[in-house]
Structure 1
Amino acid sequence: MKHVAIIGSAGIPAKYGGYETFVENMVEHLSEKLELTVYCTDKIYPERRSSYKGATLKYVPLSANGWQSILYDGISLARAAFNADVCLVLGVSGAIFFPVFRLISRTKIVCNTDGIEWKRAKWSGLAKAILKLSEWLAVHNAHTVISDNLVIKEFIADHYGRSSIFIPYGGDHIVVKDFDDTLFNEFGIERESYFLNISRIEPENNSQTILEAFSRVPNEKLVMIGNWEDSAYGRYLFDTYHQRPNIRMLDAMFDRQDEKNCIRANCKAYVHGHSVGGTSPALVEALTLERIPVCFDVSFNRSTCNGLGFYFQAVDDLVKIIKSFDETVDLTVLKIDMRELCKRRYSWEVVSKQYLNVFCT
């Protein structure tokens, strides 16, 4: 049985973000076929359980995010170098260690490079340079490179002359518990009557574009869930738009996941403003829930949705979509196409089999 070490996530049980959800679902589908070790940060798992759903858990006393992620991944790689057959590395933070790792270890490195992180506007010039170098090192030193989006696959081929394997994230793990209308009454909405956006509140996610568009269409409701208090930008948007009667600006709801999933499953459309990155897990989950996607028009989003749904680049574009949505959407045909796309591409069963093939080849 192959021994695979999974490196780069905060750990499991998943309670942080996309990587952690990915790892948990990989463990659920592959723990009977592989010996799995997941490296975790003890910063958010102080209980330090030794195993979970058939995977062995090992802990690193550093954060999995920020500048510490470089050392976090490096320590994880060092511990796995002589006892794993394969290291699945999520992201490129630890890629600076790949050349040395290959000199001292026969373990195969499989690297999911994630999005093109150095293109994000939030990074300083120095941070962008480090991220770009890390991406270069990852692509040129991993034995196998995984792209989570077809546009990323094309970018790696064009920019680095390196082939990669396209494997996206799954989205069919979402469990929707139904709630009575009290939940919807709490936020002044009705089932299937509102547009929904869930994201970090930052410029590259087009948070203000979305809010401004809905402020101009007062008869259509928007529910926007995000981290309003974490930045001056978020606080500015909240102060500017929260009194609009058709806009509900909710906190991130980390401790109300079941309620949030119910709100997601009952929106009439999911507005996705991300302008950078690869495959967004939140968008994949919305597709799996058969929520009509209304996306910022970049190649990553079109690729994720396979061209299905609606696309905008500016406030006026989104206003037109909102105003004409109920008259132009053929829900039956669109949802059939979305269902087929998710079955073919975004099932965890399909995704895990693709990774298993990579590990065992």
Structure 2
Amino acid sequence: MRIAILGSRGIPNYHGGFEQFAENFSVYLVENGHQVYVYNSSLHPYQNSTYKGVHIIHCRDLENKLGTSGQFVYDFNCIRDSSHRNFDIILQLGYTSSSVWHRFLPKKPAIITNMDGLEWKRSKYSKAVKSFLKYAEKLAVQSSDYLISDSIGIQNYIRQTYNQDSKYIAYGSTVIEEVDETVLGHYGLEAYGYNMLIARMEPENNIETVLDGVRDSESSAAFLVIGNYTTNAFGKYIYQKFNASENIIFLGAIYNQEHLNALRWYSNLYFHGHSVGGTNPSLLEAMASGCLVVAHDNDFNRAVLHTDGFYFKNKNDISSMLETLSKKNHGERIVNNKNKIKQHYSWEMINRTYLNYFVECLKTKSDN
């Protein structure tokens, strides 16, 4: 099959969840004999024409000049380019800045869209933007041949809201078996002597709640905040509010996977505050790295962790857990979460499920 992947910033991953998936899945497809094209932003640091056998199509991206609206230009350029190529399948990752251009999608390929999370629920957006995102969501559902949901919650939402079926395929991860303890020396840390979070600086990730709890706690352990706090107003606000706290350490964004794996592995508690979206990649990575997870109490997180995590609703819960929980007392939860990754969220399983679904979709479309 000739397969195109649209909707990410590109591969190799320098950004986030969709990029990590695009990298893993595209290479897997090539290894299984398919011809694969991934669309990359012109701003992506990787400028070669191929990556591990995957063809890279570089499209002009004006986000550096136009801000968020530049993403619409980039998605339009990708979709317009795709209409000139003879693809069998086009996989769209998300819809927020692409579904308005659906009329330019080619008619021949099967159009499959991963519906991502409930973007219009994100608190950072104004009422007008939320209204647009609901409209974009509706366009994506109506213009796609097939839909993918990465959580049962999203699948149920699409069925109830649009009376449309979608294929449930979660995100993936790989269980970490060993890490380099010397990484801790780069950050002046001791094994299991610190707590941490990794997140984009967005209000719905409950970073402020977590850090309020850290500041109010009697625990003196270092608390690492990993995420770029310089690119938006909320990140700058969080940094200004908490940077003076003696045990809260802002490390910024870290893309070195070996460092991230080691920092998660040797943490005492890992806080996951995400409250919007489906199966969150950073939660799976924490589980795969042997973290003891304290997650925001919502259906999405509970659907993944079940009884093998701890849950918080407010800053008082955070303070209490920092003062009472120790990773060494909860080895069974850590083992259970690693087994969940192996049994339900391994990349091999996720990639195989996607590929089987592609074959099914293409057959259904050709039969019709």
Is the TM value for this pair above 0.5?
A: yes
Q: 1:83 aligns with which of 71, 79, 86?
A: 86
Residue in 2 aligned with 1:355?
354
- Give 1:249 deviation, angstroms: 2.3
Deviations 1:55-77 (A, max 9, x none): 11111112578223233223322
Q: Which residue of 1 aligns with 2:299?
A: 299
Report the equivalent of 1:58.
57
Which residue pairs with 1:94 in the alignment?
Answer: 98
TM-score (norm 2): 0.88
Inter-partner Cα distance in structure 2 for 1:272 and 1:161: 32
Deviation at 1:158, TM superposition (A): 1.3
Map 1:327-338 onto structure 2 (within 5 A): 330-338=329-337
Deviation at 1:175, TM superposition (A): 9.1
What's the CA shift for 1:111? 0.3
Summarize the Cα distance change of 1:186–1:99 in structure 2 as closer, same or farther, 3 Å threshold. closer
Unpaired segments ≥5 residues, structure 1: none
Q: Does 1:6 align with 2:10?
A: no
2:213 matched residue in structure 1: 213
Instruction: Return 232-241 or 271-280, whichever deviates more.
Output: 232-241
1:278-297 residue CA offsets vs partner (Å, 9 max, x unmatched)? 22211111111121111111
Conserved? CA contact 1:214–1:221, under 8 Å: no
State whether residues 171 and 285 of structure 1, in contact with CA within 8 Å, keep that contact through their aligned partners in structure 2.
yes
The answer for unaligned runs of 5 or more in structure 2 is 361-368
Instruction: State the shift of 1:304 in Å.
Output: 2.9
SS state at 1:316 partner: helix
Worse-superposed segment, 119-128 or 154-163: 119-128
> Is residue 2:236 matched to residue 1:242?
no
Q: What pairs up with 1:13-162 in 2 under 5 angstroms?
A: 13-33=12-32, 34-45=34-45, 48-63=47-62, 66-81=68-83, 82-92=85-95, 93-99=97-103, 101=105, 105-162=107-164
* Inter-partner Cα distance in structure 1 for 2:52 and 2:62: 23
User: Alpha-carbon deviation of 1:186?
Assistant: 5.1
Provide the C-alpha distance between the structure 2 equivalents of 1:271 and 1:289, rounded to a whole number of angstroms.
13
SS at match of 1:229: coil
Identity of aligned residues (%): 33
Which residue of 2 is the match for residue 170 of structure 1? 172
Equivalents in 1 of 2:322, 2:109: separation in Å?
Answer: 52
How many aligned positions are there? 353
Q: Secondary structure at the match of 2:76?
A: helix
TM-score of the pair, normalised by structure 1: 0.90
CA offset at residue 132 of structure 1?
1.1
Superposed CA RMSD: 2.3
Distance 1:235 1:73 in 2: 28
CA distance in 2, matches of 1:309, 1:245: 28
Contact 2:308 2:334 in 1 (8 A): no
- More divergent stretch after superposition (133-142 vs 201-210): 201-210
